Amino acid sequence: MAVLEGLLPQMPPPLTLLGVVLVLFVLYLLSSTPKLGTDPPGPRPLPLLGNLLLLDLQQLQQSLSDLSKKYGSVFTVHLGPKKVVVLAGYKTVKQALVNYAEEFGDREIDPIFRDSLKGHGVVFTNGNSWKEMRRFSLSNLRDFGMGKRVSEERVIEESRYLSEVFENFKGEPFDTIQPVNYAVSNIICAIVYGRRFDYADPVFQKLVSESTENMRLSGSAEIRLYNMFPSLRWCCDKWLVKRTQFLKNTDTGIEDIKGLVQGLKDTLNPQDCRGFVDSFLVRQQEESDQPGSYFHSNNLNCTVRNLFSAGTDTTGTTLRWGMLLMAKYPHIQDQVQEELSRVIGDREPRMEDRRHLPYTDAVIHEIQRMGNILPMSIPHATSCDVTFQGYFIKKGTMVIPLLASVLQDEEEWETPHSFNPGHFLDEKGCFIRRDAFMPFSAGRRACLGEGLARVEIFLFFTFLLQRFRFSPPPGVSEDELDLTPTVGFTLNPSPHQLCAVSRV
């Protein structure tokens, strides 16, 4: 290349252009040459652009699913210059994440998250810092509610507040996103800060709004392109509007978290920890004289941010899909409400009721399957060189476990593209578990809040279905309700309104 750079300036402009074309053509041929037949197959990449011309960045998961039909369950795709291995189908994804958990256990950290979180927190990190933060987070999520009776009580209490908000609309159409996200956020806030927030609290509203917007922005085509070509910030930063907004939201969110943490620090009693933050602050004090401790303020603020964002968006999105699907399929809503009335009656639902509500439980699982809110999971990376299904994958390779291909695997589901609670029921109407039900991913990087999310989804859903009938706005038929998802970090329902008519 150095020789070529010396020659090109001496060439006339047409020859310069021809030289560039020839170099690109040679690079194209070299990049598509198989390496000892061990690389996973895939479409030939163009220089620099990779396979972008084959991909729809607005529906990337669908593009990858289509490619898997041609190239198999393990294949290579180039997102710009970045080589990525995609895993498709239940058997392949499970084998990689469970049987090869260590080898596929690192996190691929996209430039947007490297810029915003700077290697701190519990989601977009690797190595010892990630291990410490995940271990500590799991322990404290359990200590302060996850999987315990206190968590159940919090969700039921919050369901009452959410129900009041729905009642205030008096059966008129409204957008479910804000009240649902407020309710779900308060569950994680109770665990993290030791208290819930009033829905009108301006700091709380700002935290939820910025987190929700960042979830949407991080899945946009602009930020996907930036993640493929991070050097764009040096020449096109003023046009990267969504990146700028994402970083601004993150910074202001961290500042708000710092304020809440300081308030807890000022009233800290090490003998009576109120939540995750108190526990972290106590540990921070204990290790204050230890150089290299991971219990520092940056890890605290970013971990709280991670827990808040993940704990709000995933569960909130699932519940919104649930209400929309009930309005879309009223005959299924009828059967859920009949079972709730027959088994529970007028009292508030409890987790112990789930085993007596097989149809309702099946509907909830099918909502999660069809909602498919993390279709590409959060990208992994290989922690070492690995040979997988006969293919060689180098250490540090980005890996996408295509969860959409698991939840819609045609070999695992009878009607993979239809909403069918029967997927989780046997011939006697009893609930059955399905191995290919993997909405929380699996292995070392499985969702650390899975236990809490299961409690929230079941109790919020049954509480709301017990009290309200969900239907389209007047003049809109069930057939007109759009199930096309909007692009974001998670797949949300398209903007819509519903009516929640009281049944009480």
Task: Give the closest residue to 203 by CA, choosing from 211, 191, 215.
Answer: 211
Cβ atoms of 81 and 225 closer than 8 Å: no
Cα–Cα distance, 133 to 127 (Å, whole number): 10
Task: Give the closest residue to 161 by CA, choosing from 200, 127, 128, 132.
Answer: 200
- What does each C-alpha distance from 463 to 181, 319, 341, 421 come to in angstroms? 16, 12, 11, 19
State whether residue 36 is helix, strand or coil: coil
Cβ atoms of 277 and 301 closer than 8 Å: no
Cα–Cα distance, 174 to 499 (Å, whole number): 7
Task: Give the closest residue to 109 by CA, choosing from 93, 88, 92, 127.
Answer: 127
Phi and psi of 401, rounded to 5°? -80, 110
Other C-beta atoms closer than 10 Å to the C-beta of 180 total 24
Cα–Cα distance, 117 to 301 (Å, whole number): 10
The contacts of residue 402 (CB under 8 Å, 6+ apart) are 61, 64, 65, 68, 86, 87, 88, 93, 375, 376, 377
Cβ atoms of 281 and 157 closer than 8 Å: no
Tell me: is residue 447 an annotated ligand-binding position. Answer: yes
Binding residues for heme: 447
Binding residues: 447
